Amino acid sequence: MRFASLGASLRSALRFARRFASLGGSLRSALRFASLRSALRFASLRFATAVFTESNLSLVTSGKTLVDCATLQVADMQKTNALVTTAGGKFLEAPVSGSKGPAITGTLIFLCGSSSDSSFNDPWVKTCLAAMGKASHFLGEVGNGTKAKLVVNSVMGTMLAAYGEGLNLAESCGIPGATMVEVFQQGACAAPMYGLKGPNMVKEEEERNYDAHFPLKHAWKDMRFAKALAEEVGVEFGINGRAEETFAAGDKSGFGELDFSAVLEEIRKRNRSYPYG
């Protein structure tokens, strides 16, 4: 029912935009005009500079809500919140845990922050979040959602770097990587991410497919932001910091556009070792 309600609304907006465009305007202009009629807007732009434009923020007026699902820095979310609320609108920070697969299947996890929980508890917002995700969490003030997301992504990157080092060590010892993937999944180290990424990581070089579900360069960006956050609050973050350096080297080596599991290719490159075969 929730999916049907959301889908019908989206289809209605697109029909309006296409009809407007057929009268001579561009589809982009039509979509912008349709947005002016909407009380709720979602954004997920990669860079803060894409959000802070007069064109985008002019769409947020009194009584309207902007939900930002991007992973930016805490200060970026706080700046957007200030601009939106000053214009009379409401703002909900809602970065997501999950990449391409969960987005397609509607199983994202929303990590939310707002100056008031009324934005999070708005029935239409709740319906949209439920249609796109399997869970949503209200974490308090604006900035906390981003902090939680940076913690998640930095741990995820560190896990994958450690996993890659382990696979590389096993392969260097003459142990088939595919066997180690099975061993990991049968024991206490088992993790959904390892089960998903591992089999491809240990294929023969010409068979590996690193189509980006979550690009390595974006994982590195989030790990950099998490490292800066740790420095800001004065906590030790050395293990994650070392993993961030490995991702940085991977991006410099040209793996940035590939899936972040290609961090193993950087580890192999450093160690001049290749799959057992």
For the chain, state the CA radius of gyration.
Answer: 21
**How many C-beta atoms surround the C-beta of residue 271 within 10 A?**
13
Give bridge partners of residue 96 from the DSSP assignment: 110
Set 90, 147, 149, 197: catalytic member: 149
Answer yes or no: 252 catalytic. Answer: no
Sheet with 40-43, strands from edge to edge, namely 40-43, 65-68, 90-93
Max CA separation in the chain (angstroms): 67
Do strands 108-112 and 96-97 pair parallel, antiparallel, or not at all (unpaired)? Answer: antiparallel
3 state SS of 135: strand
Long-range CB contact pairs, 118-122, < 8 A, 24+? 118/90, 119/65, 119/90, 119/91, 119/92, 120/92, 122/40, 122/65, 122/90
- What's the gap between Cα 37 and its chain centre? 28
Query: Would you please indicate which residues are annotated as catalytic (active-site) residues?
Result: 149
